[in-house]
Amino acid sequence: MNNKEFIAKLARKCGITPAEAAANVEMFVGVVTERLKENDQLNISGFGVLEVKMRKERLSVNPKTGQRFLVPPKIVPAFRPSNKLKDKFK
């Protein structure tokens, strides 16, 4: 499912126009992004936790040349599903 299909389905389920659904999705993504930029986690009950994690620096190898290089540490977004969500897939 792509973004356009998601917005259309959301609009049908909520009984709103696709433009309103698109605006709501845009606002949701904006709020999530803002919270993650502030290094805060977002806990959505029944769905999971969106958070920011720090990846450690590591050594990597260029497979073409065999040259080793250091990959610096970086901050990445992460998702941890809730038990309720996991149980729906059992």
In the prediction, which pLDDT does 90 show?
Answer: 85
Q: H-type helices in 17-61, by residue range?
A: 18-37
Per cent of the chain over pLDDT 70 is: 100
Domain count, the chain: 2
Give how far the C-alpha of residue 16 lies from the chain's centroid of Cα atoms, to the nearest Å. 25
Mean confidence (pLDDT) of the chain: 94
Same-domain status, 34 and 54? no
Same-domain status, 84 and 70? yes
Same-domain status, 17 and 34? yes
* Cα distance between residue 74 and residue 68, in whole Å: 18
The CATH number that applies at residue 80 is 4.10.520.10
Say if strands 42-44 and 74-81 run parallel, antiparallel, or are unpaired: unpaired
Of 50, 59, 57, residue with least CA distance to 74 = 57
Provide the domain limits for residue 55: 43-90
Same-domain status, 49 and 87? yes
> Average pLDDT, stretch 20-28?
96
Query: Does the pLDDT at position 10 exceed 90?
Result: yes
